[in-house]
Amino acid sequence: MTDTTTVLVLLDHTPDGALRAPVRELVTLARGLAGPSGVHGAWAVDGVEPSAEALADLTALGVAHVHRLVTDADVHLTAVLAEGLASLLDATGAGLLLATSSFENKEVAARLAVATGAGVVTDADALDVVDGQVVAGKTVFAGTWTTRCAITTELAVVTVKANSVAVTEAETQAAPVVGEHAFAASPAATAVRVVERTQRPDSGRPDLGSAHVVVVGGRGTEGDFSQVEELADVLGGAVGATRVATDEGWIGHDAQIGQTGVTISPRLYIGAGVSGAVHHRGGMQASGTIVAVNSDADAPIFEIADFGIVGDLRTVLPQAAAELRRLRAEG
């Protein structure tokens, strides 16, 4: 028997055992929905255990139980992780699983749904329980519609977009009970073997999918991303790109934002030399504040921009970076 007041949160973590930033949002959200049994966290043990910093975070955020998911198989395989979570949901009776909206987690959510019959909403930006039913908010059709989706199944699985929730700490804080949940992955889940894994070199910038600020370069950069990067670094933001820029090889495909790239919802999006084509909008229209820098006053991006600057990005971006530095220096 599942219960929506028992909420399980997938605790995405870094290779050094710290919580990934959007997980804090999930726990904040879960705390508002959870009943007396509190918020449960699932830590997939991939050779990395929760660090002291992660345990302090989980205490401050009010996670009651941390379940270490332990298996002989590779938990980075989505099929394996889905089986582990299905077995943990069963053991805890949790009626709601929350995960961050990464590509991997959306696949895990889909596999979980197939295995358990759960209803799934991906890329949610709000969550509520109404008359015992989980209701998720989500923007669709390239950010043009805001919807509310009620999950009518007993078990609900929701992936939540980063920057959807303001993180708060729990009023009462106690160290979580850390336990082990061992499971055996099926032969089908382990039919794939990872032969090599290469960690992406650290750019020193925040992750594109969860950054608060994203500065995006399009065709207007003509391949020179230095001014886009400079502004991103002054703002502590991530660098993104349109498909034109990634197809041209000016920047890696993992920086592409849009329908066939990453979906982002930062607090601040700055598009430079970006026309605002519908395929690009689909991945950024839910951003908090949209700033556009474009030399063409008729560029479609100005239709959705909160602030627009008609000008050459090669002049505007360095000016903006210099002004921000000056203001910082003044304190």
- Footprint of ligand FAD (CB under 6 A): 218-220, 242-245, 256-261, 273-275, 277, 279-280, 283, 293-296, 299, 312-314
Query: Token pair of 86, please?
Result: 């299905």
Closest approach, Cβ 262 to ligand FAD, in A, equals 8
Tell me how far, at minimum, the Cβ of 243 lies from ligand FAD, in Å.
Answer: 3
Minimum CB–partner distance for residue 224 and ligand FAD (Å): 10
Please identify, using beta-carbon distances, which residue of 5 and 295 lies nearer to ligand FAD.
295
Nearer to ligand FAD, 126 or 277 (CB): 277
Alpha carbons 189 and 51: distance in angstroms, whole number:
28
Taking the least distance from each CB to ligand FAD, the nearer of 132 and 307 is 307
Q: Nearer Cβ to ligand FAD, position 147 or 315? A: 315
Give the residue closest to ligand FAD by C-beta. Answer: 258
Using alpha carbons, list the distances in angstroms from residue 210 to 30, 33, 222, 242, 294: 18, 23, 27, 18, 25
* Smallest distance from ligand FAD to CB 253, Å: 10
- By the 8 A CB rule, do 44 and 69 touch? yes
Nearest CB to ligand FAD, comparing residues 212 and 314 = 314
Nearest approach, Cβ of residue 263 and ligand FAD (Å): 9
Which two tokens mark 206? Answer: 């925040």
Identify which of residues 95 and 261 has a Cβ nearer to ligand FAD in the complex. Answer: 261
If the CB atoms of residues 37 and 295 are measured against ligand FAD, the closer one turns out to be 295
Nearest approach in angstroms of CB 104 to ligand FAD is 19
Q: Which is nearer to ligand FAD, 46 or 248 (CB)?
A: 248
125, 287 Cβ separation under 8 angstroms:
no
Instruction: Give the shortest CB-14-to-ligand FAD separation in angstroms.
Output: 27
Select 108 or 313, whichever has its Cβ closest to ligand FAD.
313
3-state SS of the chain is: CCEEEEEEEECCECCCCCECHHHHHHHHHHHHHCCCCCEEEEEECCCCCCCHHHHHHHHHHCEEEEEEEECCCCCCCHHHHHHHHHHHHHHHCEEEEEEECCHHHHHHHHHHHHHHCCEEEEEECEEEEECCEEEEEEEECCCCEEEEEEECCCCEEEEECCCCCCCCCCCCCCCCEEEEEECCCCCCCCCCCCCCCCCCCCCCCCCCCCCCEEEEECHHHCCCCHHHHHHHHHCCCEEEECHHHHHCCCCCHHHEECCCCECCCCCEEEEECCCCCHHHHCCCCCCCEEEEEECCCCCCHHHHCCEEEECCHHHHHHHHHHHHHHHHHHC
Smallest gap from Cβ 190 to ligand FAD, in A, equals: 33
CB of 231 to ligand FAD, least distance (A): 13
Looking at this protein, which amino acid is placed at residue 254? Answer: D
